[in-house]
């Protein structure tokens, strides 16, 4: 019998791996979904936030009595708000009205102070990301707070290496492909590096919004897949991290998220929809005895308002 965790932070990680039963290719590989919705805030970003804060505590960048600043589309901010609440650090988040209202409310409820940058038409763009970064940098300089700076922070990669080990152990080493959408690129890098250390034949697929396919050489544009597609090539990205890049549109991602809810009982966010759409494409190219793993990045409870509006507009069909 496992011992009680000292704090809620002890419940981060060691999430389940679940096979999809209905959202599957006709004659392709099986797809396993890593249920990161089991983390305390319902998001894989709990791993990242804890790793960044604990690394900064360990080397003195974040001292007792200090505070934290970050820019975020929401999930990282919620996760940082959780970690900072438990550890007692004031947190100031720079975010935008382009992101799910539920995430902004969740950050506030966990004690974070928010600066909300207006978007153009509610879409995520490269300009918006740069505006948020500039505001966070100014706040950190003004207040002396520790700026986690997630797009440049390599401390988080260690958390995803541990996640890669979880996947390897849970599959018993029987994994042929891994698919993940790209935000900071830390999760794809950490997991891919770990899996390839075990088996360099595993196919790694990166997913990005088709409206803003900058990693695959396209132009930056606006999209509404929360947490991914910064609109420029992010600093932690490496060209050799993925064997291929799949483009998935906002509409495809939302439609797949709705399919997962209706056909699998898995209520997930838009980035999960993009992941599964990419995983299906890979699975269709592999034999039935092969295994593809992708990630349920977070729970759909973070997107209820936007999903509800979509349903009212008749946009739920997959």
Helix and strand counts by DSSP (H, E) for the chain: 9, 10
Count other Cβ atoms within 10 Å, centred on residue 57: 16
Catalytic residue numbers read: 45, 271
E strands in the chain: 17-19, 30-35, 68-71, 91-96, 113-117, 146-147, 177-181, 203-209, 244-248, 291-296
Best CA proximity match to 253, nearest among 275, 233, 238, 234: 275
Spatial CB neighbours of 34, under 8 Å, sequence gap ≥ 6: 15, 16, 17, 163, 166, 167, 293, 294, 295, 296
DSSP string, 12-49: SS---EEE-SSS--SSS-EEEEEEGGGSTTSBTHHHHH
d(CA 300, CA 270): 8
Q: Which two tokens stand for residue 299?
A: 């729970």
Best CA proximity match to 78, nearest among 171, 8, 175: 8
With 0-12 / 13-18 / 19 or more C-beta atoms within 10 angstroms meaning exposed / middle / buried, residue 217 is exposed
d(CA 253, CA 276): 8
Q: Which two tokens stand for residue 75?
A: 């999930």
């Amino acid at each position: 019998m496992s011992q009680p965790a000292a704090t809620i932070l002890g419940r981060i990680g060691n999430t389940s791996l679940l096979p999809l039963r209905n959202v599957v290719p006709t004659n392709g590989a099986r797809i396993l979904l890593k249920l990161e919705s089991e983390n305390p805030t319902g998001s894989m970003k709990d791993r990242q936030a804890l790793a960044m804060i604990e690394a900064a505590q360990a080397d003195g960048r974040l001292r007792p009595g200090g505070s934290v600043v970050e820019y975020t589309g929401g999930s990282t901010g919620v996760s940082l708000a959780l970690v900072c609440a438990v550890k007692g650090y004031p947190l100031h988040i720079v975010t935008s009205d382009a992101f799910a209202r539920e995430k902004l409310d969740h950050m506030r409820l966990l004690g974070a102070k928010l600066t909300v940058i207006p978007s153009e038409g509610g879409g995520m763009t490269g300009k918006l990301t740069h505006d948020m970064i500039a505001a966070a940098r100014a706040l950190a300089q003004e207040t002396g707070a520790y700026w986690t700076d997630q797009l440049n922070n390599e401390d988080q990669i260690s958390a995803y290496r541990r996640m890669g080990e979880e996947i390897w152990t849970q599959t018993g080493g029987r994994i042929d492909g891994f698919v993940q959408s790209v935000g900071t690129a830390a999760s794809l890098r950490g997991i891919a590096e770990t899996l390839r250390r075990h088996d360099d034949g595993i196919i790694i697929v990166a997913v990005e919004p088709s409206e803003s396919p900058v990693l695959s050489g396209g132009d930056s544009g606006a999209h509404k897949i929360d947490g991914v597609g910064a609109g420029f090539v992010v600093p932690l990205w490496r060209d050799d991290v993925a064997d291929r890049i799949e483009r998935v549109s906002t509409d495809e991602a939302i439609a797949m998220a709705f399919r997962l809810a209706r056909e699998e009982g898995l209520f997930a966010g838009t980035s999960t929809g993009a992941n599964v759409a990419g995983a299906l494409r890979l699975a269709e190219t592999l034999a039935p005895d092969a295994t593809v793993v992708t990630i349920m990045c977070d729970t759909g409870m973070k997107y209820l308002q936007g999903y509800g509006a979509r349903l009212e507009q008749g946009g739920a069909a997959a």
